[in-house]
Amino acid sequence: MRWMFAVIMLLGAAVGSLGPAAPARAERSILAEFRFGSIDGGEMGFADWAGRPVLLANTASLCGYTWQYAQLQALFDAYGPRGLVVVAIPSNSFNQELGSDREVRDFCQLNYGLDLPITTVTPVRGPDAHPFYAWLREETGFVPRWNFNKVLIGRDGSVLGTWGSAERPTGRAITAAVEAALAEAPRS
């Protein structure tokens, strides 16, 4: 009976020692599969940003929070040189986006001078949600409730934080989370 207890304890220790590392690898490999259409043509995705923290915001050009584009750009300008990727994901999920990718691109460049990565117009909720947002819902229960919701993904692919529309991109909550994410050592 003692030998059985010893075997169970050894198996438990072995499984426990594998536990924390396995999910991070699984999250990275799942995230690496998610690709977005780029508003400038082609595709982009987490595989391109491997080892870097990524802040994603679902955006809309005709929303009352559209002023946050300027803060997303400011965040990208301030932290991009240190490794942060900021991605705007225009979405018509709340019926407040312009009619075409070209209109969105022109609006963002003319009104806000954005040079951060911008995806094509992408659904972020419901049955047609982009696979990243479906994964996010399954993993964390987070679903954008409106435009300009933000999600911070860490270097290891873990979800470090989610924020609603009212949270300013350059506010203390997000900048503190970004600084902590950047302070983590990059994986080799």
Spatial distance between the Cα atoms of 49 and 127, rounded to a whole number of angstroms: 27
Is 63 part of the annotated catalytic residue set?
yes
Among 31, 54, 63, 136, the active-site one is: 63
Spatial distance between the Cα atoms of 158 and 160, rounded to a whole number of angstroms: 6
Identify the bridge partners of residue 88 per DSSP, sorted by sequence position: 57, 118
Per the structure block, which two tokens stand in for 89?
A: 């994901």
Instruction: Give the ranges where 34-145 is alpha helix by DSSP (H).
Output: 68-79, 101-112, 131-140
Q: How far is CA 99 from CA 2, 113, 133, 141, 156, in A?
A: 70, 20, 22, 30, 36
Spatial distance between the Cα atoms of 54 and 66, rounded to a whole number of angstroms: 20
Question: Which sequence positions are flagged as catalytic?
Answer: 63
